[in-house]
A and B are shown apart, each in its own frame.
Chain A
C-alpha cells in the first residue's frame, strides 16, 4: 500500500517568513494529494489539493508543488501569520488516501 512520509515534524518560523513542509510517497499510482490543517481539538480542514496532472497550484498565500518523477510534494506558506499555527498533514493516494505523520507549525509573532 501507499506510504507517505512527512518532514519536518515541527517547524517554527517568525511571523512574515515562509514555511515549507515536504512529503514523499511510494505508490506511483497515487494521483491525488490533499493537504489538511488541524487546529488543536478540531477537525482536519482541507486547505489545498493537487492532482497528478498538475505540477503546481496556488491559493493566495498557500501553494503546493508536485514532482511525480521524484514522488514528492510540498506545501509552501508565504507571509505566515500567527493563525497559521496548527498541525499540517499531507496525504496521498488513488482510491483511498494515506496521511503523513503531521507537521506542527508554530508562527512566532
Chain B
C-alpha cells in the first residue's frame, strides 16, 4: 500500500518563472491538502481539494492555484515565483470529505527560487 508520494523531490527556479508540483494521495484517500513549510516554521495551509474542487483556502495569493484529477491526484501551480516562495511544499491526503482528520503527509518538494 503506497503512501503519499510527491514529485519532484527538489526543484530550482528563478524569479518570475512558474512551477508545477505533483502529489498522489495514499491509496483509498480522496482529499488532498497542500502546505508550505518555510525553514524552521510550521506548515502553512494553502488549500484543500475534494471531488476535484477547491474546498478550503488559506491566506495565499492567487498566484497559487491547484487542481485535482479524477484519480484524486493533485497539482499545485505557482506563477510569477518570488524569492519568498522558497520552501518545502507538503501534500497531505486524508479520507472523509471537507476536513483534515487523519492526514498523512508526503515527503515534500523542496523549491528553491533564485
| Chain A residues within CB distance 8 Å of chain B | 1, 6, 32, 34, 36, 42-46, 49, 89, 91, 93-102
Contact = CB atoms under 8 A, between A and B. Distances in A.
21 contacts: A32-B99, A32-B100, A32-B101, A43-B90, A43-B105, A43-B106, A43-B108, A44-B90, A44-B105, A45-B105, A46-B102, A46-B103, A95-B48, A97-B45, A99-B42, A99-B43, A99-B44, A99-B45, A100-B42, A101-B41, A102-B41
Please report whether the interface of chain B is mostly helix, strand, loop or mixed according to DSSP: loop
Interface of B: 33, 35, 40-45, 48, 55-56, 58-59, 90, 98-108
A46 B98 contact: no
User: Lowest 6 A-B CB distances belong to which pairs?
Assistant: A99-B42, A43-B105, A96-B56, A97-B100, A44-B105, A99-B43
Contacts of B58: 96
